[in-house]
Structure 1
């Protein structure tokens, strides 16, 4: 029988606390430098990689709920960073893509994102970073299996 639950040693809690703290630090940088929220940045990054996507596809790619994706896409559209076009495959949805301004913004934000990641991981060896990435992927796979 497992021992008592100790919250500070409970992995889901530790992951949540760490994720929230890292996101808060990153969000502050994105907000002050580029006027972007974390959900907005995630959509910009996914659209930069895919060139276009529906809101449903963006939700699946970012693991964000429909309301968060909708608000972020509306904010990006109002800033002319994202454009909506008709989805010929499904008339109920639209395809979103970055505008020229959106691609330019991504070109500014992406190097800053890499710099912030490097600063976060500065205390780790390359092998530790590789192991961390592998362990996170294994945890993600286990969670997907549990969700099925």
Structure 2
């Protein structure tokens, strides 16, 4: 339904958010069933595992687009599972460096196998042409938004 010339179903942010939510929820059901992980816990584990280096909570938040309170709760839960450790920064005691433990690294590798399987399922469902079109569309959005961010960050 169109109200005052605006159609929500064609509004790009709305469509992107819905599509991302549908895709993410389906994957979340898999890792929750297998590992009892919340989405912030998975995203924190994925951020640490994918970089292969210690990160601060701020870096995890920036990497995964999560608010600091979600990161903080996820870090506490992963630390309780003994999947990550915290170490104080020698130069700035306000900072902590987060790193996966051996058990956390093992869980991350298992979860990436689950993620790869899910990606293959999505590839089959969407098809090669659809995946190429989706990749091209997302790249166009990312390029355009990157330009907007650069202009906004440039000094006046």
Give the TM-score, by structure 2 length: 0.85
In the aligned structure 1, how far is the partner of 2:148 from the partner of 2:58? 22
Where does residue 19 of structure 2 map in the other structure?
18
Do residues 56 (structure 1) and 53 (structure 2) align? Answer: no
Who is 1:87 aligned against? 89
Unaligned runs of 5+ in 2: none
Q: Deviations over 1:80-124 (max 9, x none)?
A: 001001112421010000001001111111011111121122133
Residue in 2 aligned with 1:138? 140
| Cα offset, 1:62, TM superposition | 0.6
SS at match of 2:59: helix
Which has the higher Rg, Structure 1 or Structure 2?
Answer: 2
Runs of 4+ in structure 1 off by over 6 angstroms are none
| Bigger Cα displacement from structure 2, 85-94 vs 63-72 | 85-94
Name the SS of the counterpart of 1:108 in structure 2. Answer: helix
Who is 2:105 aligned against?
103
- SS in structure 1 of the partner of residue 126 of structure 2: coil
The TM-score with structure 1 as length reference comes to: 0.89
Instruction: Kindly state the Cα deviation for residue 129 of structure 1 after the two structures are TM-superposed.
Output: 2.0
Structure 1 residue 43: Cα displacement? 1.2
